[in-house]
Amino acid sequence: MGDLYRFIHAEKANYPITLLCRAMKVARSSYYAWRDGEAARRVRQMAADALAHEITVLHIASRKTYGVPRIHAELRRLGRRVNRKRIARVMRERDIRGVTRRKRRSLTRADKRARPAPDLIGRDYKIHLSESCDDPGASKRPHLITHVVTTDATVNDAMVVEEVHDRLTSKGLLPGEHLLDAGYTSAELLLTAPTTRGVCVVGPVWSNNTRQSASGGGFGKSAFTINWQAKHALCPTGATSRYWTEGVDNNGRDAIRIRFATATCAPCPVRDQCTRSTQYGRQLTVRPQEQDAVLERVRAEQSTDEWKDRYAARAGVEGTIHQAVATAGARRTRYIGLAKTRLAHILTATAINLIRLDAWWNETPLARTRISRLAALDLAA
């Protein structure tokens, strides 16, 4: 319809508008309504072009990975309040697309008859605290809380780390080295954080705790040789795996399941050391090659004294959590709803920072670390 009105508008100098409208079979009133709205349309188009330019800059800066949610978050962070649907429309019209991880099938077979595990903790929310841990003597400032995240209790700890890095970056507080608890550390994060965010993540990773590794005499993952290019594994007896399935684990992280054929494992003389399954062959679940390599590297490093000394600086945050519980009752929320609880957590962190600054400026000595009676006996001996 717009083309017809544009044509009439272009020809109105040569022919009467009444004639043009009749020839084009459009109502004159509609043409005049279109004409009167032209200026507003042009302003809207210019605003859309300006927004598209901003989105394109952010999209390129993200190496063309950001989709609508991230672009929306970035614009908000820059102080631009733009409706999310409008961003989606502008991106759709200009074919600007983010990278979406393909939905992968889970490698876990759910037991449909199993009852859900009871909620033993009975907690609705979690607080995630970040604090500086530089040597106060050298940095000339106390340890202060730099960021607080409140999530539903069911959110996996590892899922909040990227958001924390983004927020600390926007505040100019991102450290060069981020010491994390084991729950927050993941192979993906260890691998990508230094390159994408410029922060070195230091945290323990779970040791290889399969039944076979724990028993000592069994064939753990280290007993197998994985050929990543050929996509198979060799077991200690020299047999080759048959199946190589790429998918995701229970937490949605990339994983590869390697399986040996039942016919291979059934007659194996050392089967008892390898698998308890009587129906299937041995099965291994591993991370993709780069992640597997980084996990093995960190597992080797985390047993060294040098790594332990470096990681010891993180211990202070346990005192911070205690302070949040003791001074502000952070173990329980006083409010219903995530938004109010989040506000309460921010106020808690602010109060702790003020207490610490007060102690720092008034040179109040820190409380001494409590030593259990057992440890005191050990020291005395």
Task: From 141-149, 182-190, 263-271, 318-326, give the range in contact with ligand SF4 by CB under 6 A.
Answer: 263-271
Least separation, in Å, of the C-beta of 292 and ligand SF4?
18
- Count CA atoms within 13 Å of residue 125 on its CB side: 22
The interface region with ligand SF4, picked from 63-71, 128-136, 205-213, 233-241 by CB under 6 A, is 233-241
SS3 of 145, please? strand
Q: Which residue in 57, 53, 5, 3 sits closest to 29, CA to CA?
A: 5
Contact status: 352 vs ligand SF4 (CB under 6 A) = no
Among 66, 158, 281, 320, binds ligand SF4 (CB under 6 A): 281
Residue listed under structure tokens 């340890």: 143
By CB under 6 A, tell whether 239 contacts ligand SF4: yes
Closer residue to ligand SF4 in complex, CB, 258/344: 258
Instruction: Work out whether 274 is an interface residue with ligand SF4 (CB under 6 A).
Output: yes
CB atoms within 10 A of CB 285: 16
Between β-strands 283-286 and 254-259, what pairing exists: parallel, antiparallel or unpaired?
antiparallel
Q: Does 12 bind ligand SF4 (CB under 6 A)?
A: no
Q: Interacting stretch for ligand SF4, rule CB under 6 A, among 81-89, 266-274, 353-361, 371-379?
A: 266-274
237 binds ligand SF4 (CB under 6 A): yes
Q: Name the segment binding ligand SF4 (CB under 6 A); options: 149-157, 210-218, 261-269, 336-344.
A: 261-269
Which residues 6+ apart lie within 8 Å of 301 measured at CB? 307
Q: Is 226 in the site for ligand SF4 (CB under 6 A)?
A: no
What minimum distance in Å lies between the beta carbon of 78 and ligand SF4? Answer: 55
Choose which of 20, 201, 265, 295 interacts with ligand SF4 (CB under 6 A). Answer: 265
Q: Is residue 264 near ligand SF4 by the rule CB under 6 A?
A: yes
* Residue with smaller CB distance to ligand SF4, 182 or 261: 261
Report whether 21 contacts 8 (CB < 8 A).
Answer: yes
Residue type, 217: G
Give the shortest CB-232-to-ligand SF4 separation in angstroms.
Answer: 12
Residues 196-225, mask of contacts with ligand SF4 (x by CB under 6 A): -----------------------x------
Encoded amino acid at 253, one letter:
R
356 touches ligand SF4 by CB under 6 A? no
Half-sphere exposure of 61 (CA within 13 A, CB side): 11
Contacts for 285 with CB less than 8 Å, ≥ 6 apart: 107, 249, 255, 256, 257, 258
Assess 275 for contact with ligand SF4 (CB under 6 A).
yes
Structure tokens at 56: 């394109």
Residues 6+ apart with CB under 8 A from 224: 233, 234, 235, 236, 258, 284
Length of the chain: 381
Backbone angles phi, psi at 135, to 5 degrees: -65, 115
Interface with ligand SF4 by CB under 6 A: which range of 62-70, 230-238, 313-321, 344-352?
230-238
Q: What does the alpha-carbon distance between residue 77 and residue 333 come to, in Å, rounded to a whole number?
A: 28
Q: How many chain residues are in contact with ligand SF4, going by CB under 6 A?
A: 15
Instruction: Determine the angle formed by the axes of helices 187-196 and 161-170, rounding to 10 degrees.
Output: 20
d(C-alpha 184, C-alpha 153), whole Å: 14
Residue 352 Cβ vs ligand SF4, minimum distance, rounded to whole Å: 53
Residues found near ligand SF4 in the complex (CB under 6 A): 219, 235-237, 239, 260, 264-265, 268, 270-271, 274-275, 281-282
